[in-house]
Amino acid sequence: MSGPSLQKLDAHRAIHEAAFHEAKELTELLQKLFDERKETLCLGVAEALIESWEQRTLAHAESEEESFYDQKSRENNGELAEMIAMLKRDHHILRTIVHDAKKLLERHKKVTGTIIHHFQALLVVVQIHSRDEEKYLLHDH
Ligand SMILES: [Fe+2]
Ligand SMILES: [Fe+2]
């Protein structure tokens, strides 16, 4: 999603929350199936998780970088430049972790503990990222 909704705190936060909720639920399900050693089911959930991260959070990040960040930067006469550079770096880290998880999954053809750690790390990073984005780019202050 792009356009004016990214400018509004409530609408933007709803995008963050929906994506986070879906990824968290799938990660918890993956952990449960992994503990139960259900390999085939694990693989399906891990693939769905990769898709969820790509289609929701990474696509959202892409649309922010297309115009929203520049717009914010202009509105604030470049005062937010450092924060925006940090937020872009977060996006880069998220993309890298998703990419690495995908490669590990392709290589092993099954879910491993390391792959689960990648999915858990994504949840932590995106939570910090969304909090900062909402605080610095979407609140009047
Ligand atoms: Fe973002
Ligand atoms: Fe966002």
pLDDT in tens, 40-98: 999 999 999 999 999 999 999 999 999 999 999 888 888 899 999 999 999 999 999 99
To the nearest whole percent, how much of the chain has pLDDT over 70? 96
Tell me what pLDDT residue 137 has: 94
**Structural domains of the chain, with CATH:** 3-137 (1.20.120)
Q: What is the distance in A from the centroid of ligand 2 to the CA of 71?
A: 14
Instruction: Report which bound ligand comes closest to the CA of 138.
Output: 2
HEC profile of 67-103:
HHHHHHHHHCCCCCHHHHHHHHHHHHHHHHHHHHHHH
Q: What is the distance in A from the centroid of ligand 1 to the CA of 15?
A: 10
